Amino acid sequence: MKLRPIAAVALRQIYLMRSSPVRILPMVAWVAVDIVLWGFIARYLNGVNSRGINFTASLLGAVLFWDFFTRVMQGVTMAFFEDIWSRNFVNVFSSPLRISEYLCGLVLTGVATSAIGLLAMLAIASTVFGLKIASLGLLLLPFLMVLFLFGIALGVLASAMVLRLGPASEWLVWPIPAMLSPFAGVFYPLATLPGWMRAIGHALPPSYVFEAMRSVVSGGIADPGQLAAGVGLALLDVLLACWLFVTVYRYAVRSGLLARYSAESVS
């Protein structure tokens, strides 16, 4: 793999953001709205509950982590969609760029855009609502790693889906995080769920993060084995998603889909 082609894919997004602040706004605005909304809900619940539960840490922390995962996924898919919207597939894929380099470029873009969202969320959550995310200590690393890896996996998976089904299927991508959230136990323990939903929840790496986070917030400890399972599962998901993207890409080259691909020609 060469670094310069990877940098090119990420640089294109930086150019677009620099030339149009409107592109930066959604990265910050939606997560800010989420943090403000859930921050006040947590503050209200802290005032009315008599059991000493820290809703700021459990609720607001969960929202922050979930939004981070969502931003990573959207960072990857948005970079891919840029090539669709600008009908740039022929130009990009007729270059010496390798698929592995292209995927790395998408991931790099996801890192950059999600970091912007994460910083905005941390700033609001800590200054306005007093969330002490640093109290999680070193656990932050595996937490963020699992969510980051799973965000990349879903971003690549969603890109493969749109490459295969056409630009119109873009609208199937946006609801994916919302559809997964009930299974991932973002706001409640997996034990709350019926058996079949719990089984799906266990297959989702973020569920291990939220279970561990709730345990730590309520004074317990995070199970290292469970966290390792989350990391392993997330890594496996990344590999599977990349394999799927490469398989779909090869199909698109073989079938002529890639050569014909444009916003108008495929639906």
Partner 1 sequence: MSHPALKASGLCKSYGDIKAVDGVSFDVEHGEIVGLLGPNGAGKTTTINMVLGILQPSAGHIEIEGIDIGRERSRALAQTNFAAVYAALPGNLTVYQNLRFFGLLYDVRDLDTRITALMSEFGLESLRNTRAGVLSSGEQTRLALAKALLNAPRLLLLDEPTASLDPSAAQQVRSLIRMLAQREQCGILWTSHNMYEVEETCHRVLFVSHGRILLEGDPKHLPQEHGAASLEELFIRLAREPLSANRAAS
Which residues here bind partner 1, judged by CB under 8 A?
Answer: 2, 4-5, 7-8, 11-12, 15-16, 19-20, 82, 86-98, 253-254, 256, 258-259
d(CA 86, CA 219): 51
3-state SS of the chain: helix, strand, coil percent to 5?
Answer: 85, 0, 15
CB of 183 to partner 1, least distance (A): 37
Least Å distance, CB 89 to partner 1, is 8
- At residue 130, φ and ψ (nearest 5 deg) are 70, 25
Please report how close the Cβ of residue 21 comes to partner 1 at its closest, in angstroms.
14
∠ CA 118-218-209, nearest 5°, is: 45
Residue number, 98 or 132, with CB nearest to partner 1 = 98
Give 236 or 253: the residue with its C-beta nearer to partner 1.
253
Q: How far is the CB of 22 from partner 1 (least distance, A)?
A: 12
Q: In angstroms, give the least distance from the CB of 26 to partner 1.
A: 16
> How far apart, in Å, do the first and last CA atoms of the chain sit?
33
Q: What is the DSSP letter of 130?
A: -
**Six-digit token string for 14:** 């930086």
Indicate if the alpha-carbon torsion angle 123, 208, 180, 190 is positive or negative.
Answer: negative
DSSP collapsed to 3 states, 87-108 = CCHHHHHCCCCCHHHHHHHHHH
**By C-beta, is 101 or 237 nearer to partner 1?**
101
Nearer to partner 1, 14 or 33 (CB): 14
Closer of 159 and 207 to partner 1 (Cβ)? 159
**120-146 as b/e: b if 16+ CB within 10 A:** bbbebbeeebebebeebeebeebbbbb
Least distance (Å) between residue 244 CB and partner 1 = 19
Measured CA to CA, the distance from residue 18 to residue 11 in angstroms comes to: 10
Query: Between 4 and 51, whose beta carbon lies closer to partner 1?
Result: 4
> Of 105 and 185, which CB lies nearer to partner 1 in the complex structure?
105
Least distance (Å) from partner 1 to the CB of residue 130? 41
Tokens of 106: 């998408």
